[in-house]
Structure 1
């Protein structure tokens, strides 16, 4: 395995495109599998289709189509055969344009600006300013001016209203305890207020506002679930940015969490080494969450620590070339 070829396939190689113009993440994954078997100059890469299936988890038809797309894009070229297997040369002279990174940064900045604007609007909607509040009970108590309860108070009952003033020290009982509820004046509907409580908002005047999560808070929760499910914990900051960029492109955060768990289970079934599992940011930027994964029933244990699919090697090795 060549480090130069792997770095080129993962970071520097141009992003292949599908017929619809979308990033071909499946083809890029197959290109990385070819780079693992190439020399430092990108030559002499001849893994079998079965080996690529084992490495990527794709079925045979998906691998063959990806190879044809890579060859049409000029990223690989056949230069012979080795043991009836096609030998490929990687076009390592092709480099991904710098505009790809600039576009991602611009999308990230636009997303952050939009998130900040949504947060500002959400805060502005949650603040209300009441200039006056009128509270009237059965005895005709009226309070004007919400910021001060020292305004006009009218009480038509002959006895002093409990909201008007607190009991004086001479009116306290000998044991200095507050009177019970039954001992309050008949016309009062609330317990007596202390002088220090005058001017403070009452809990009976307004209901507690319901707590609603903003989009940014919900996205942070979903990212935490995604990062917990993803098996390789590397570059959490870059992963967070890539997660936000994926949501900006239209992916649902809940789908990203489910896809990371599905890929984790697939890597576990295929016994994929940790060093071959992409970083979470690379997985997100490559839109690997849209990759086709084989069904669990398509893999069975061989008894030697690995897995193989239902396909068996043909008697005629030329079948490798005929299908590609």
Structure 2
């Protein structure tokens, strides 16, 4: 296995992207690269091995190998090297050398979106948007921006809750509203009742 050959097959092999079989060619080439040396030479996996790697039929693997040869991405390897590894002539697979000297031109192939300009927020234009287009007479509306003073309820206590002091008979803490001032009816603090001194109107 050669990392150099695998990296070439994954990133730099000039397989035309507009071919319908581009993905099949890529996985077969990757299977060959898995058996090549660092220079892309002497890859001779069997058809059964390539079929197992690629999950393709044997016929599809044969077609992909022919297409890779036609594209000049692989070429026959030295048969003597294959013979040195596989003694029986009737069991020798075809060997291939990868043309790792051929590389695809560098370009942005990620297919992702580029970053928005600095004057845009969240990938959208910062100018006003319309509920419908100008052709339909839609009204423009500004972008929705959270404003804590308008969109969220205030956490300030009611004036009467701040102004009424604690009675000392309940569990009231400074700043607690009157509704939170209770007297516990048991030691486990399970049952409670509103404080009759702080909120007499509630206990009537």
Instruction: Please show how residues 1-324 of structure 1 align to structure 2 within 5 Å.
Output: 1-17=1-17, 21=19, 24-81=22-79, 82=82, 83-98=91-106, 101-102=107-108, 104=109, 108-109=113-114, 116=123, 124-125=130-131
Please state whether the residue corresponding to 1:45 is helix, strand or coil.
Answer: coil
Distance 1:46 1:129 in 2: 67
State the secondary structure of the residue aligned to 2:113: helix
Deviation readout 1:40-72 (Å, 9 max, x if unpaired)? 111110001110011111111111111111111
Structure with max Cα Rg: 2
Q: Size of the alignment, in residue pairs? A: 125
- After superposition, the CA RMSD in angstroms is 3.7
| Unaligned residue ranges in structure 1 (runs of 5+) | 131-175, 178-324
Equivalent pair of 1:2/1:39 in contact (CA under 8 Å): yes
Give the CA deviation at 1:73: 0.5
The TM-score normalised by the length of structure 2 is 0.50
Per the alignment, in what secondary structure is the counterpart of residue 86 of structure 1?
A: coil
Contact 1:16 1:70 in 2 (8 A): no
Give the match's secondary structure for 1:108: coil
Does the Cα contact within 8 Å between 1:46 and 1:86 map onto a contact in 2?
yes
Offset from partner CA, 1:11-32 (integer Å, 9 cap, x none)? 1222245xx6457111011100
> Could you tell me how far 1:123 is from its partner in structure 2?
5.4
Instruction: Quote the Cα distance in structure 2 between the aligned partners of 1:61 and 1:23.
Output: 13
**Structure 2 alignment gaps of length 5 or more:** 83-90, 133-137, 142-200
Which structure shows the bigger proportion of residues in strand conformation?
A: 2
Q: Could you tell me how far apart the structure 1 residues matched to 2:130 and 2:8 are?
A: 48
**Does the CA-based 8 Å contact 1:16-1:23 persist in structure 2?**
no
Aligned-pair CA distance for 1:107:
6.6
Quick check: which one's helix share is greater? 1
